[in-house]
């Protein structure tokens, strides 16, 4: 008999270009029951990005009213743009026992880790193997202008410096190895005692059976 499971809030953070979106996409393909927390952002849409799938591209006024109406689980200013995770879809998924994946910066990770859902947070930080490789990845991704890449490179240390606030840290050198490790982390965390509220009934059943045999 398998015990009922609580949903996990799986947070991936990294300096821009280290590979968290790539790992997030692989994780979603690996387990289709995982839902991705689609953030709202005031930044411009990149070529190839889909509104409502990659982000909810939002005007600054609308973003600010979502924050003041308490609709965001967390929000932060990153690279001069606002980003935030709408709370409602997260609560719905967690209550249904489904995991939610977040691609948020360290400020968002900290806010979620301090929220009422803190007991169900699994946070993973992705480090690049080197700063030279981080720049190479940002350049080969080919989605940002030279100016934006410089800005992201300058800010990468600020993000990296928060590595020790996370439950797990992966150095994303070989992508396949990192993905295997990420699956191991998620699989183990799903089996954590506090993620399985139904265990109490399982143990009660075992106890009743035990007492029946004994008498």
Binding site for ligand ADP (CB under 6 A): 14, 16-22, 137, 140-141, 172, 174-175, 178
Show contacts with ligand 5GP in window 53-92 (CB under 6 A).
Answer: 74, 76, 78, 83-85
CA distance 206 to 184: 29
Residue 105 makes contact with ligand 5GP by CB under 6 A: yes
Q: How far apart are CA 112 and CA 165, in angstroms?
A: 12
Beta carbon nearer to ligand ADP, 20 or 75: 20
Closest distance to ligand ADP from the beta carbon of 170 (Å):
10
- Judged by beta carbon, residue 178 or residue 195, the one nearer ligand 5GP is 178
The nearest distance, CB 186 to ligand 5GP, in angstroms, is 18
Contacting range for ligand 5GP; rule: CB under 6 A; set: 59-67, 92-100, 105-113, 125-133: 105-113
16 binds ligand 5GP (CB under 6 A): yes
Residue 101 interacts with ligand 5GP (CB under 6 A): yes or no: no
DSSP state of 99: -
Show the 3-state SS of 112-163: HHCCCCHHHEEEEEEECCCHHHHHHHHHHHCCCCHHHHHHHHHHHHHHHCCH
- The two beta strands, 168-171 and 121-127, are parallel
Element (H, E) at 12: strand 9-13
> Pick from 6, 8, 9, 39: which binds ligand 5GP (CB under 6 A)?
39
Q: How many residues bind ligand 5GP (CB under 6 A)?
A: 15
Q: Which does 43 bind (CB under 5 to 8 A by kind): ligand 5GP, ligand ADP, none?
A: ligand 5GP
- To ligand 5GP, the closest distance from the beta carbon of 183 in angstroms equals 20
Edge-to-edge strand list for the sheet holding 168-171 = 35-36, 100-103, 9-13, 121-127, 168-171
81: tokens are 């743009």
């Amino acid at each position: 008999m398998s015990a009922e499971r609580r949903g996990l809030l799986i947070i991936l953070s990294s300096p821009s270009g280290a590979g968290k979106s790539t790992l997030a996409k692989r994780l979603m393909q690996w387990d289709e029951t995982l839902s991705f927390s689609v953030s709202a952002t005031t930044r411009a849409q990149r070529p190839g990005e889909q509104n409502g799938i990659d982000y909810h591209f939002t005007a600054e006024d609308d973003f600010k009213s979502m924050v003041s109406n308490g609709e965001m689980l967390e929000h932060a200013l990153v690279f001069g743009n606002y980003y935030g995770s709408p709370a409602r879809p997260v609560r719905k998924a967690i209550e249904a026992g489904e995991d939610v994946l977040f691609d948020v910066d360290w400020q968002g990770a900290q806010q979620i880790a301090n929220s009422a859902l803190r007991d169900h947070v699994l946070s993973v930080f992705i480090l690049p193997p080197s700063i030279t490789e981080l720049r190479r990845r940002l350049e080969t991704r080919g989605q940002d202008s030279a100016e934006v890449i410089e800005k992201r490179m300058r800010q990468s240390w600020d993000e990296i410096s928060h590595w020790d606030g996370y439950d797990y840290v992966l150095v994303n050198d070989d992508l396949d190895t990192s993905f295997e490790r990420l699956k191991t982390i998620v699989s183990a965390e799903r089996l954590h005692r506090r993620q399985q509220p139904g265990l109490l009934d399982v143990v009660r059943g075992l106890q009743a059976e035990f007492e029946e045999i004994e008498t």
